[in-house]
């Protein structure tokens, strides 16, 4: 597997609220990058309701409270998914992480980044909500990928996230990925409404990353965790994500692929 000497591309995938399909898209983005030849780390940064290990059928190597306490290194929590793709799982129902103050959460997030070294690309599934996205994006994200849907409520939530990020991280490049659209026309129209509001009220430019269509293959894949990657990647959503990685995403060029 080809590696980069420079820092990895770090994509933080976030949404204003849950229910947009953010976690599924995080997996598909990481899978597409790995298929393109980039050594990719997928990070589940949800501290309480992590689910990527369930989707992928991967048993976590440890717990995040052990990382916070210094009992484990971040790299020891990384588990292989397949060639070129690894997972750093989050936690589900870990009482040791309930009630962490802001400083402890920030320290834990910072320790997760220790596992990024040596990878070409890192895809981070931020927990749902504004605070979770900010905590992760502040750690050195290359880009923030805001996942939304064509519905007005989803666009409103996405705008709220953009507003907070613009205030706290004004220099962070922002991408918009529209999920569960009927077609590219509906997705692009949703993006244009969001981009117009961001330009008018936030004075902030956005980049249209693409549209991912509604896909029954994803529903089937979610019900079959150990086959999730194979089933989801073979559907319309998986194809759309691979295409946008190739045509729109400024992913790093693997070392040795160019003269």
The 10s digit of each residue's pLDDT in 12-35 is 999 988 888 999 999 999 999 999
What's the whole-number average pLDDT of the chain?
90
- Of 194, 189, 202, the C-alpha closest to 157 is 194
> Can you give the residue range of the structural domain that contains 174?
9-247
- Helical pair 22-35 and 236-247, crossing angle rounded to 10 deg: 60
Segment 71-82 shows an average pLDDT of: 96
Q: How far apart are CA 113 and CA 130, in angstroms?
A: 20
In a domain, 253, yes or no: no
**161 has a pLDDT exceeding 90:** yes
Q: According to the model, what pLDDT value does residue 251 have?
A: 55
In a domain, 259, yes or no: no
**136 has a pLDDT exceeding 60:** yes
In a domain, 213, yes or no: yes
In a domain, 153, yes or no: yes
pLDDT range class, residue 5, cuts 50, 70, 90: very low
Ramachandran category for residue 140: left, alpha or beta (phi over 0 → left; psi -120 to 50 → alpha): left
In a domain, 152, yes or no: yes
Segment 54-73 shows an average pLDDT of: 94
Asked if residue 18 lies in contact with residue 190, where contact means CB atoms within 8 angstroms, the answer is: no
Q: According to the model, what pLDDT value does residue 1 have?
A: 34
**180 has a pLDDT exceeding 90:** yes
Q: How far apart are CA 181 and CA 222, in angstroms?
A: 19
Asked if residue 62 lies in contact with residue 76, where contact means CB atoms within 8 angstroms, the answer is: yes
Segment 65-79 shows an average pLDDT of: 95
Q: According to the model, what pLDDT value does residue 259 have?
A: 37
Q: Three-class SS of residue 113?
A: helix
Segment 137-150 shows an average pLDDT of: 93
Strands 207-213 and 174-181: parallel
Ramachandran category for residue 87: left, alpha or beta (phi over 0 → left; psi -120 to 50 → alpha): beta
Half-sphere exposure of 182 (CA within 13 A, CB side): 5
- Of 137, 116, 127, the C-alpha closest to 41 is 116
pLDDT range class, residue 195, cuts 50, 70, 90: very high
**179 has a pLDDT exceeding 60:** yes
Half-sphere exposure of 68 (CA within 13 A, CB side): 19
Beta bridge partners of residue 81, listed in sequence order? none
DSSP 38: -
Segment 194-204 shows an average pLDDT of: 98
In a domain, 151, yes or no: yes
Q: How far apart are CA 41 and CA 91, in angstroms?
A: 17
What's the CATH code of the domain at 99? 3.40.50.300
Q: According to the model, what pLDDT value does residue 176 have?
A: 98
In a domain, 161, yes or no: yes
Angle ∠(169,170,176) on CA atoms, nearest 5: 85
> Is residue 145 within a helix (H) or strand (E), and if so which, with residue range?
strand 143-148
Structurally, the chain folds into a number of domains equal to: 1
In a domain, 254, yes or no: no
**138 has a pLDDT exceeding 90:** no
Q: Among the listed ranges 90-94, 167-171, 196-200, which one has the minimum average pLDDT value?
A: 90-94
pLDDT range class, residue 257, cuts 50, 70, 90: very low
DSSP 92: B
Segment 217-246 shows an average pLDDT of: 93
């Amino acid at each position: 597997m080809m590696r980069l000497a420079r820092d990895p591309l770090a994509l933080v995938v976030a949404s204003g609220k849950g229910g947009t399909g953010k976690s599924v898209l995080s997996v598909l983005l990481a899978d597409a990058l790995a298929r393109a030849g980039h050594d990719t780390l997928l990070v589940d940064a949800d501290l309480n309701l992590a689910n990527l290990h369930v989707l992928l059928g991967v048993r976590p190597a440890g717990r995040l409270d052990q990382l916070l306490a210094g009992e484990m290194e971040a790299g020891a929590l990384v588990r292989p998914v397949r060639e070129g793709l690894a997972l750093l799982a989050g936690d589900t129902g870990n009482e040791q992480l309930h009630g962490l103050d802001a400083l402890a959460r920030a320290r834990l997030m910072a320790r997760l980044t220790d596992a990024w070294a040596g990878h070409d690309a890192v895809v981070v599934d931020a927990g749902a909500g504004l605070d979770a996205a900010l905590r992760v994006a502040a750690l050195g994200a290359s880009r923030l990928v805001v996942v939304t849907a064509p519905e007005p409520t989803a666009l409103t939530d996405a705008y709220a996230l953009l507003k907070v990020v613009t205030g706290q991280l004004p220099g962070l490049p922002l991408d918009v990925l529209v999920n569960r659209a009927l077609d590219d026309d509906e997705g692009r129209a949703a993006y244009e409404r969001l981009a117009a509001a961001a330009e008018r009220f936030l004075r902030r430019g956005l980049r249209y990353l693409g549209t991912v269509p509604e896909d029954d293959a994803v529903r089937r894949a979610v019900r079959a965790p150990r086959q999730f990657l194979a089933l989801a990647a073979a559907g319309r959503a998986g194809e759309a994500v691979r295409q946008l990685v190739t045509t729109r995403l400024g992913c790093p060029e693997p070392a040795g692929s160019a003269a």
